[in-house]
Structure formats: C-alpha cells, structure tokens
C-alpha cells in the first residue's frame, strides 16, 4: 500500500523529504561521443531573456516569457533539484525528479531501497502532498521516469545488473491517480531499451536492435520500425503534434540526429549537429540539443534544417563532466 509522506518548505521551494543504495543514473546523452560541430545562432531572432543560475552549478538558463518549455528540475550526478516558481532547491535523498506536463505533479526516485524495494514518491505540487509507491524488489531498479502527456501515468524502465552493466528487463507503469504501480517483464527486450510514452498516452516506445519498437501497456509488441536508430529527446521523443520522432541516426548516416514520420515510418529529416544530448522538441519545426564549442556547452533551439535559433542554457565543461541533465517540461 502507498505510504503518505509530507512535503516540507525551504526558501519558497517544496522539498520532498524521504530518505531511502541505488546505482548512479546515467545522463540522458548520446550513446557515443559526437565530434564538435559549432552551431551558428540566428541573431536576427533576438529574444529578451531572463538569466537564472542553477544552484550548485555555473549553469545559466536564458528564459523568456511565453517559452513553450522550461527547466522544472535537474540532476547533477546523483543530486536532484526541483523548481518551485523561480527558485530551485536540492532534494536530499533523491536521484531523479521529473515534473508532469503543466507542472502540477512530480515524481521522485529515492537514492536507496526501502524495505527491500525500489519506490517512487508521487508529489502533488499544488496541494503539497506526497505518496510513496513501491515499484520493484531488490536487486532490480526502476528509473528513467517519463510522464504521459495527460499527466495521469508515469513509465519507468526496469533494469538488472549483469556484471558491470545494467540491462533492461521491462517497465513499471505508475498510475498517478490511483497511486499504484504495475511491473511488466518484456521478453526479448533490448538491453539498452528505455521506455517512453507515445503521444496518445496509450502505448510505449523504446529502442530495439538499432530500431524503434512500440509496445502495449501489457508488454506485447505492437509495431517495429527497423534501422531508425535509438529514440532520443529528453522527456518526450515526439513532436507536439505527435507526428515526428527523433532518434540518434543509425550507422551509415553522416548526420547524428534523425526525424521519422511516426505514421508512415519514413525518414523526414536529418540534422548534422555533433549533438551531445537531445532534450526534447521546442515546437513542430525545432528541437533542443546540447552542443559543444570553445571548451563549454550550450543548450540551443535548432530547426530541422540545422539552423540554430536561440541559446537556452550555458553549461560549463565542469558541470557537463559531472553529468548534469536539464529536464524540460511543456507548459
């Protein structure tokens, strides 16, 4: 049964307090290092931005009113930070926090087992209440949380240790309304799979042997797109309309980022960025990528033609090497 836990206030921020040892979570980054490819920013599209420096880092966000996405949480190594209003606060005892679309809910993953189980904390950020829900039994772990677009469910990837590596075995679906969790083992799943929701909130998508595979919530295979490369793109790999799907381009392509038509399965665009990470779609014609240059990194908005439109964050090399990950939520 879920266990209710309170949310405490600290300098205007909600701090989720539960202390529950889990392995470090890998950053959401490219599977292999990409060559540096400086990106040219279009200065003709000037945006009046507000600078926000993230606590515990030298990362500077460049935000603007009306942006479709905003950083609502971030991690630095195994430390997680949550945003409330304009302030961020460290969440002790948690290694990952993900905020639902529209920002009313959050899910936090403790950095240790509790009573022999992995678990999550579902937080209502409006009512300031939280409920702990058990997921999988030790030694399995469940993390890489992704919200459905309707904010009603969260999927986490279940993994087990195999030597020094971690391999996917299936997924957990957490019902944020009923506050329950259901684990599904997926036979033949790709060890590198990471499960996310499809735009209709009905199916799941993950990498499969160099391509993309769609699954029902029962773990049954619904569709496979071969040779697309692995899905990539932060919290949501699909464009706002649900038509475009971003992946790391498969072998044989000179470009590193590929966009596929979800309906037809055809390649819609290829972009050569030398991207270090993809953080999601900005709008139907552009996405957010992390690129490097001059000894540092930047999160930038890039069009499907590879044109840089705007810098969203300046990231120092030191922070990047500490495995910083910016989690963007659509407003």
Q: Is 164 within the bounds of a domain?
A: no
Paired tokens of 177:
């309304």
pLDDT confidence of residue 267 = 98
For residue range 211-255, list pLDDT tens digits in order. 999 999 999 999 999 999 999 999 999 999 999 999 999 999 999
Q: Is 297 within the bounds of a domain?
A: yes
Strand partners, 165: 162
Q: Is 139 within the bounds of a domain?
A: no
Provide φ and ψ at 318, rounded to 5°: -65, -45
Q: Is 279 within the bounds of a domain?
A: yes
Q: Is 248 within the bounds of a domain?
A: yes
Query: Looking at beta carbons, which pairs linking 284-290 to residues 24 or more positions away fall under 8 Å?
Result: 284/239, 284/240, 284/241, 284/243, 284/244, 287/233, 287/246, 287/257, 288/69, 288/234, 288/312, 288/328, 289/257, 290/29, 290/315, 290/320
Is residue 21 over pLDDT 80? no
Query: For residues 107 and 34, which has the higher predicted lDDT (pLDDT)?
Result: 107
Q: Is 118 within the bounds of a domain?
A: no
Is residue 90 over pLDDT 80? yes
Q: Is 310 within the bounds of a domain?
A: yes
Structural domain that includes position 241: 232-326
Instruction: Give 39's pLDDT tier (boundaries 50, 70, 90).
Output: very low
Lowest mean pLDDT among 84-88, 100-104, 245-249, 304-308: 84-88
Q: Name, in order, each residue with C-beta under 8 angstroms of 331's C-beta and a sequence gap of 6 or more.
A: 67, 68, 69, 70, 102, 103
Q: Is 213 within the bounds of a domain?
A: no
Lowest mean pLDDT among 32-41, 291-300, 308-317: 32-41
Q: Indicate the number of domains in the chain.
A: 1
């Amino acid at each position: 049964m879920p266990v209710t836990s309170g949310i405490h206030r600290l300098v205007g921020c909600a701090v989720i307090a539960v202390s529950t040892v889990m392995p470090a979570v890998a950053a959401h980054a490219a599977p292999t290092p990409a060559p540096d490819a400086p990106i040219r920013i279009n200065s003709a599209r000037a945006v009046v931005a507000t600078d926000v420096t993230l606590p515990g880092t030298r990362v500077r966000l460049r935000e603007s009113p009306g942006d479709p996405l905003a950083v609502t949480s971030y991690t630095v190594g195994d430390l997680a930070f949550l945003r409330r209003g304009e302030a961020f606060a460290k969440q002790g005892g948690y290694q990952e926090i993900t905020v639902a679309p529209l920002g009313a809910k959050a899910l936090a993953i403790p950095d240790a087992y509790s009573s022999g189980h992995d678990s999550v904390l579902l937080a209502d950020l409006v009512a300031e209440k939280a409920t702990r829900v058990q997921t999988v039994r030790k030694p399995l772990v469940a993390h890489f949380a992704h919200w459905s677009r309707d904010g009603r469910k969260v999927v986490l990837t279940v993994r087990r240790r195999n030597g020094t590596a971690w391999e996917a075995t299936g997924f957990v679906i957490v019902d944020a309304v009923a506050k329950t969790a259901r684990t599904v083992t997926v036979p033949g799943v790709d060890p590198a799979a990471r499960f996310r929701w499809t735009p209709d909130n009905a199916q799941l998508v993950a990498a499969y042997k160099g391509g993309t595979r769609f699954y029902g919530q029962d773990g049954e295979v619904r569709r496979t797109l071969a040779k697309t490369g692995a899905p990539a793109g932060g919290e949501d790999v699909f464009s706002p309309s649900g038509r475009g799907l971003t992946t790391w381009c498969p072998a044989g392509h000179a470009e590193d980022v590929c966009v596929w038509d979800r309906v037809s399965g055809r390649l819609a665009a290829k972009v050569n960025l030398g991207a270090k990470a993809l953080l999601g779609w900005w709008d139907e014609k552009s996405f957010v990528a992390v690129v490097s240059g001059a000894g540092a990194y930047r999160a930038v908005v890039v069009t499907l033609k590879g044109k840089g439109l705007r810098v969203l964050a300046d990231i120092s090399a030191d922070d990047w090497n500490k495995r910083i990950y910016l989690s963007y939520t659509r407003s």
